[in-house]
Structure formats: structure tokens, C-alpha cells
A = this chain, B = another copy of it.
């Protein structure tokens, strides 16, 4: 079996900024010669998540608004007592979305739908540099 690991580094604005990872994932699949097998994208850190969504400006706003309404920045979080921090909502939003996704690759392409992209959601309360781990098994 082949195991290959690559990284996608990206700057985010935080506050549920959405980054489309799909073009880079496609590049990596091609470069590494992955024809049939799985690709896992994993976000190290506990304030960012990875999922899929139709990456268009409307939903980009909607998911941000939804996460903020579900777990508001201004809420009371015990996490703030631990670290005198302000990102309790970020942690919970990220745990909720989950840090990783595994996508089957068939005939050299990710099996995504036409209107489906793999996205990183940065839930932290400030801009961050993120280094997503991309691992392929084939």
C-alpha cells in the first residue's frame, strides 16, 4: 500500500471564515498519482472544522450566521474561566462540525457532487494560519 501525506497551508480571517479546499485537494490527488483510494483532510487545532457544502456566497454567510446563533460569541462559557480567553464558542462550533473528512477517490477524482466542496471553517475569533493535513491511502 501507498501512504502519502501532503499539507494545505491557508490564511483565514477567523470568525467562521470558509476556505474551499477542493482545488488544492484535486491538485494533490493528481500530483500523488492517487487513482482509487481514500483521501483524509484533517484540521489540527481545536477551533476549526472540516465538512462539505456548496461553496457559494449565500451559504457562506448562512453557515456563519447559523453557527453564531447556535453558539454565540457573547455567551457564557466555562472555557473562559480556564484561560481568560474569548473563544469558548469557537471550540464548541469546531467540535460540532468535526475536524476531519474522508472522501473516496475513484478513477483519479474525488467523488464529490457537482455543487459540493470540501471546506475548512475557521471558528476562531481572530485570523489564523492553518495547516491542513491531507493523507492518502491507495
A56 beta carbon closer than 8 Å to chain B: yes
With beta carbons under 8 angstroms apart, the residue of B38, B51, B62, B113 that contacts A98 is B51
Question: Which residues in B have their C-beta under 8 angstroms from that of A54?
Answer: 46, 79, 91
B79 near A62: Cβ-Cβ < 8 Å: yes
B77 near A58: Cβ-Cβ < 8 Å: yes
A40 near B102: Cβ-Cβ < 8 Å: yes
- Oligomeric state, in copies: 3
18 A-B residue pairs with CB within 8 Å: A42-B103, A45-B113, A51-B96, A51-B99, A52-B99, A53-B91, A54-B91, A58-B77, A59-B79, A61-B78, A62-B91, A62-B92, A63-B92, A66-B92, A95-B97, A96-B97, A99-B101, A104-B134
Chain A positions within 8 Å of B, measured between CB atoms, are 1, 3, 5, 36-38, 40, 42, 44-46, 51-54, 56-59, 61-63, 66, 70-71, 77-83, 88, 91-92, 95-104, 106, 111-113, 115-116, 133-135, 137-138
